[in-house]
Structure 1
Amino acid sequence: MKNYEYIESALIHGGIYGDERTGAVNTPVYQTSTYMQDGLGKNRGYEYSRTGNPTREALESLIAELEGGKAGFAFASGMAATTAVLSLFQSGDKIVISSNVYGGTFRVLDKVFQRFGFQYVIADTTDLEAFEEALTPDVKAVLIESPANPLLTVTDISAVAKIAKSKGALLIVDNTFMTPYLQRPLEHGADIVLHSATKYLGGHSDLIAGLAVVKTQELAERLHFIQNATGGVLQPFDSFLLIRSIKTLSVRMDRHVRNAVELAKLLREHKAVKTVYYPGIPDFQGYEINKRQAKSGGAMISFELREGYDTHRFFEELKIIALAESLGGVESLVCHPASMTHASIPREIREKVGITDGLIRLSVGIENVKDLSKDLQSAIERAKL
């Protein structure tokens, strides 16, 4: 029985807390590949660590509780989690994806799953009428991000879930940008939630991991079979590290968001900045929807500089904020989506949805915001042609 009510406590005490045998407050690292059995067909709940490991099980139980799902699954990367979830479907099935998703998600659909007869179609999930038209009888699932990567487009999860359900399709939501601390998609009608736990859940840029949470026992059984059969599981020590990191998620996210709000205001008011994409700005297109389904606008900002400013020089002039792939770490990171995270998406598709060559994506860290402001302003000034 849980003796807490709020998610800040669940982050620390949720799932399988500590070790009953010794009283250790941290789940031990069960660094073992196999388990001694008491006899033929008699084990103590574990046989082989690909199938089940106590440290990984503690993490999986924790993320299931945080997202409000039936079961959680931990994988070796976010893409391994995505691949396992997509493996729930078969040749001839079709999936609808939102018009701007992570490039790796697009790549695995376009270059891997399409080879096996599993099709995809891109739709603007912010346009509910157009979205519903895209849900033909062969569509078995919808995969969205909200806010989406990298334009922070907000999709109404509840509305999309209702339409998907009416058409017999599952709704999969990538919740990487928000985490369960800021948004819980299952409460809004989603069937499956995905995380690149490498990002905010890990939070320290020191591990690679993926998580999936399902809403029903039927999905849990099917996904566990795929996890065990394909074997892309998270290792015990990384599971331990991720549990450790999740304990501080609330305090980190509060600081991330506070810094992001301030930097978004700075960028909006800067004469050299043409466009700012951030769901926490009241006049942002998806602000009201995001406000209904999430605690805040998160800590990701995308923006474009005006003509007369060199984007490449801007990257070169940053001193604190690092030019790097990934996001969600305690350090601030900046990237160029067109040539980095979304390079696998064909140029014509990128440009159609607004991922221009001038787009800059900023993952706001937890440094002192005054240092971050100074770094941004100095780099922008030095980028002037």
Structure 2
Amino acid sequence: MADSENNTGTKAIRTQTERTEQREHSTPLFMTSSFVFDSAEHARAMFAREVEGNIYSRYSNPNTDEFITKICNMEEAESGIATASGMSAVFSSLAALLDQGDHVLACRSLFGSSHQILNSIFPRWGISYSYADIDKPENWKSLIQDNTRVLFLETPSNPGLDLIDLEWACKLAKEHGLITVVDNCFATPYLQKPMKYGADIVIHSATKFIDGQGRAIGGIIVGKDRYIEEMQMFTRHTGPALSPFNAWLFSKSLETLPARMDRHCSNALKLAEFLENQDDVDWVKYPFLPSHPQYELAKKQMKDGGGVVAFNIKGGYERAKNFLDNLSMISLSANLGDTRSIATHPASTTHSKLTDEERAAVNITPGLVRIAVGLEEIEDIIADVDKALST
């Protein structure tokens, strides 16, 4: 295989579990909860981790191992852990690293459930946090405390598509001895590789673009060995394990990720360009749209702009609600990354638990609509949006 960052697709297709005696071409499904030992001594050695192998599918399984290996190869990570959902990946990656009295510095623009972990769950355990504004990088250093242990980032952000300069942020973290955890869900390992810029841990909701077809729930954590080893003890005993079946689905889906993302990105850019010319739209955010305030940064650290477009409809919530209710083809759902285009109103759904002030701080306005652009013909997507805007 050629040694090139452009061979991500080949890695996703040709990374495969060793064939069984059946000589299968496609990896089979290993639907088993446990594995047998050759002897009592073999069992002892396995639990003592003196020999490698599978013990129990909560610990490891050939299907989850293949999925992890593929993502590690694509993200240029050393090792990883597959989890039952994207949020279990977020929670486990942070909880396994933090102790009572620790502090997290996080970008303010985060997914709604990530906010809830920081401001509702961790404080009960004596873990504090501060938010850093993406548009005020000059303030980040002053927010680092003596007990800050983790820098938690999401780029592009959900739903506002704000970007963080990964090279700059990771350098800042290293200068202060912080562990950098990056949620790379919107970009996928095909479009962005945070570890190239110094990240320690990368997480994904595999439910989104990695699956790509709205079928399965799952997550993954990959990164440097020394941190993944720390997390493995936590996840083995707290149990957020990915099922072999879902791991098998995700691993197969990765084989088409580059092809799908190319189409998602192409469609999303065309939709963003269309929306920029609509009188009913105040503004449009898409990383590879030249009007995006961080367009040059997007071109630097992303291969393409991703499959999500955010825009604000004039008239606030009532006008946005009318738009959503008049869509004919595009689905209304809280998911994203599907073959089918999906529209969401973040202020009343995914980020509804935030206060008005918290939403305003990250530009989640009453008129904001997020469209996860699917793989339909772009002419049909635009026609549906055009009709709903004009109704």
Query: Normalising by structure 1, what TM-score?
Result: 0.95
Q: Distance in 2 between matches of 1:153 and 1:3?
A: 34
For residues 194-242 of structure 1, the C-alpha deviation after alignment (integer angstroms, 9 at most, x for no partner) is: 1011000010000000011112x21121111112111111000111001
Residue of structure 2 aligned with 1:248, choices 256, 264, 282: 256
Residue of structure 2 aligned with 1:333, choices 328, 338, 342: 342
TM-fit CA distance, 1:328: 0.5
Q: Show the counterpart of 2:151.
A: 142
Within a 5 Å distance, the mapping from 1:106-121 to structure 2 comes to 106-121=115-130
Contact 1:18 1:26 in 2 (8 A): no
TM-fit CA distance, 1:4: 6.9
Contact 1:268 1:275 in 2 (8 A): yes
SS at match of 1:338: helix
Within a 5 Å distance, the mapping from 1:60-139 to structure 2 comes to 60-87=68-95, 88-139=97-148
Within a 5 Å distance, the mapping from 1:365-384 to structure 2 comes to 365-382=374-391
Matched, 1:278 2:275: no
Question: Which AA in structure 2 matches 1:253?
Answer: M
Contact 2:218 2:242 in 1 (8 A): yes
Structure 1: 5+ residue stretches without partners: none
Matched, 1:42 2:42: yes
TM-fit CA distance, 1:173: 0.6
Q: Distance in 1 between matches of 2:302 and 2:20?
A: 35
Change (3 A) 1:18 1:36: closer
Residue of structure 1 aligned with 2:357, choices 348, 351, 368: 348
Q: Show the counterpart of 1:33.
A: 33
SS at match of 2:226: helix
Q: Show the counterpart of 1:227.
A: 235
Q: Distance in 1 between matches of 2:99 and 2:28?
A: 38
Contact 1:126 1:154 in 2 (8 A): no
Question: Which AA in structure 1 matches 2:243?
Answer: Q
Contact 1:145 1:175 in 2 (8 A): yes
Within a 5 Å distance, the mapping from 1:191-202 to structure 2 comes to 191-202=200-211
Matched, 1:154 2:163: yes
Q: Distance in 2 between matches of 1:127 and 1:316?
A: 37
Q: Show the counterpart of 1:363.
A: 372
Q: Distance in 2 between matches of 1:108 and 1:21?
A: 46
Greater Cα offset, 300-309 or 285-294: 300-309
SS at match of 2:113: helix
TM-fit CA distance, 1:77: 0.2
Question: Which AA in structure 1 matches 2:177?
Answer: G
Q: Show the counterpart of 1:55.
A: 63
Question: Which AA in structure 1 matches 2:9?
Answer: E
Q: What is the RMSD computed on CA atoms of the aligned residues?
A: 1.4
SS at match of 1:52: coil
TM-fit CA distance, 1:64: 0.9
SS at match of 1:96: strand
Q: Distance in 2 between matches of 1:152 and 1:83?
A: 22
Contact 2:109 2:134 in 1 (8 A): no
Question: Which AA in structure 1 matches 2:244?
Answer: P
SS at match of 1:341: coil
Q: Show the counterpart of 2:21.
A: 21
Q: Show the counterpart of 1:11.
A: 12
Change (3 A) 1:169 1:381: same
SS at match of 1:310: helix
Q: Show the counterpart of 2:47.
A: none
Q: Distance in 1 between matches of 2:296 and 2:101?
A: 37
For residues 256-296 of structure 1, the C-alpha deviation after alignment (integer angstroms, 9 at most, x for no partner) is: 00000100000001111111111111121111111110111
Q: Distance in 1 between matches of 2:147 and 2:84?
A: 31
TM-fit CA distance, 1:307: 3.3
- Percentage of matched positions with identical amino acids: 34
Contact 1:126 1:156 in 2 (8 A): no
Q: Show the counterpart of 1:289.
A: 297
Residue of structure 2 aligned with 1:321, choices 326, 330, 337: 330
Q: Distance in 2 between matches of 1:344 and 1:96?
A: 21
TM-fit CA distance, 1:344: 2.0
Question: Which AA in structure 1 matches 2:91?
Answer: T
Q: Distance in 2 between matches of 1:223 and 1:7?
A: 26
SS at match of 1:11: helix
Query: Normalising by structure 2, what TM-score?
Result: 0.94
For residues 32-81 of structure 1, the C-alpha deviation after alignment (integer angstroms, 9 at most, x for no partner) is: 11111111240571211111111111111111111000102110000111
Matched, 1:239 2:231: no
Q: Show the counterpart of 2:183.
A: 174
Greater Cα offset, 346-355 or 359-368: 346-355
Change (3 A) 1:165 1:125: farther
